[in-house]
Each structure stands twice: as C-alpha cells, then as structure tokens.
Amino acid sequence: MHKIFIFLLFLPISHLQANEFKGLQFLINIITGEFMETKNKNPGLQPANSEDINTVTGQTHFSFVDYVSHRERTVCFPYDIYEAQTPPDSDTGQKSKNIRVKCIPNATGNKTVQMVQSMKEVVTLLAPHGNSTKRNQPGKCVLVLFYTRSCPGSALMGPHFVALAKVFPNLTLAAIDAFKLYNLNTEFGIIGLPTLMLFHQGRPVVRFNDTQSTVNSFINFITRHSDLWPPSIQNAYVTSEDFNGPLPSKVEYETDYYLYLAWAFIVFCAGYYFSKSRIYSQIVEMIQRNWRESEAQIES
C-alpha cells in the first residue's frame, strides 16, 4: 500500500520536463521553491542579430542558480553570448576586438589595496552586483593581482600596484597570495606570477599582458578594457610610501616544506625501484663475493 501511494505521489512529476537535480543546483531549487517548476533540460539560446541587440539589453538568460552551478561549463552554446550581444562600434559599425566592460564606480574610494587572506574574503570580493551577466551592462569590477612574496617579479610590481590604488579610487584593487590560496590558480588559469586580471561580475575578463609593469601601463590597461577613467593623473607615480606596503617590495625567502616532501618521495621511490632491479642484485652479489674472498684470505 505504501509503495502504491509513493508511486501515485511522484507520478505527476514524471510528466514535467526533466531538471538536472544534481548537487548544489538541486539544493538551491528546493530552497528557492523552484523544485516543481517546469524547466527545459537543454534550453537553446537563439543568436542575437544586430537589429535586436537593443531589445535584449537589460535582460538576462541566466539566474542565480545558473551562476553558482557554472551552467556555461555544462551547456555548449552555438556562439559566445558575451561577444554576440556586444553592440558594434558607432564609428566603424564593427565590433571592437578589444574586450571592454562597463564598471560601477566604487563608492568607498579608500585608495588602498585590499589584501585577501582567505577564501571567504575571495567570495566577498568577487560577489556580483545585481543580475547582469553581459559585458555591456554595468557591473562590479575588481582588479586582482596574484603574487607571492618569494617572487622577484611580484616584488618589482608591488609598489606600482600600490600607487595605482591612489590613481583609481573608483576601482577596487585587491591582491591574493597565490602560494597560500593555491586552489585559485587552477580556477582562474594562473600559470605564472605575478598575474594581473580584471574581473567583471565575479568572472575573469582579461589578463594584463605587457612587458612593462608600471603605473602608466596599468592605467592604459584599465582605460582600454573598461569605461573607468582616473579622476586625476597628477599622482600617477611611485613614492617612497608605496614601498612600505601593503604589498612586499623585497623578495622574502620562505621554506617550502612541500617541496622537501616531494623530493623525499621521489628519492624513496627511486631507491625502492632500484633495489628491485638487476643492477642492484649484481652489485650486492659482487660485494658479498668480495667479502667472502677477503675472509677466506684472512683465515688462510
């Protein structure tokens, strides 16, 4: 009787279009009350033409569930939704090749670099503002420097990045120690240090790729890829106070215990497999034979 009742209870749900009740998305569907909503399992997204670009502005095809569940990693869209919905340039009529985002100015304007020490601070730092997911819509912008105290390049870039915070008080600047928070290296594709990245609505947009890491090159990078402009460029230089922190200006040598552990593991494995080889057996046999011959000579 109980089995029949359970079957009749879940029978109406089988007629709904399938949902992906997996992991975090399933839990959020229950909390937000979207558990019983009809939803397309693989919703296709129609390409946006140049005529209806203005009509889609202010709309979004994504929800908070799609954002936290990384829906763009599981659904393959037929085009890049960000580039396709970017309006063309007013002068040339063609889309700009340079990635450019619209940023909401930072109201605090503390003119300092925020030092991120934990994953909780990373989540708070990159939390999106509103529901906008397109680059041509205003959103929260954060300029993040991935560094480590034992890197000479990070020590050279540090004072210039600190000076940049005084030039752009309307932009949030943060620094993350990639050696301590190493999980973020895979998440954001950090393959070398130092790495400077611009985030828009919690997503990496563009990476700084210039041979000179100076205040002026940082200013050109921000103005090229965002709509932010410095209120004044009179203080666009490095002072002696910028060498005092919060970013290090000198290389700090630290002991990497994980590196020692890795070398110990390699030596142990090499010694173990060498002991199982024929060469090791021949060496041991030769030593034993010479030892027996020397003992025989002494006894005689």
pLDDT of residue 29: 60
User: Along the 300 residues of the chain, how does pLDDT read in single tens digits?
Assistant: 544 444 444 444 444 444 444 555 555 566 655 544 444 444 444 444 444 434 444 445 555 555 555 554 554 443 344 444 444 544 445 444 578 999 999 877 778 999 999 999 999 999 998 888 888 899 999 999 999 999 999 999 999 999 999 999 999 999 999 989 989 998 898 998 999 999 999 999 999 988 889 999 999 999 999 999 988 877 789 999 999 989 999 998 878 888 899 999 999 999 999 999 999 999 999 999 999 888 888 887
Put simply, whether the predicted model's pTM sits higher than 0.85 gets the answer no
Q: How far is it, in rounded angstroms, from Cα 284 to Cα 282?
A: 5
Among 225, 106, 220, which residue's Cα sits nearest to residue 164?
220
Phi, psi (degrees; rounded to nearest 5) at 245: 125, 180
Q: How far is it, in rounded angstroms, from Cα 68 to Cα 273?
A: 46
Residue type, 98: N
Q: How far is it, in rounded angstroms, from Cα 123 to Cα 128?
A: 10
pLDDT of residue 69: 58
Q: Are 181 and 119 in contact (CB under 8 A)?
A: yes
Residue 128, helix vs strand vs coil: coil
Q: Does domain 114-244 have CATH number 3.40.30.10?
A: yes
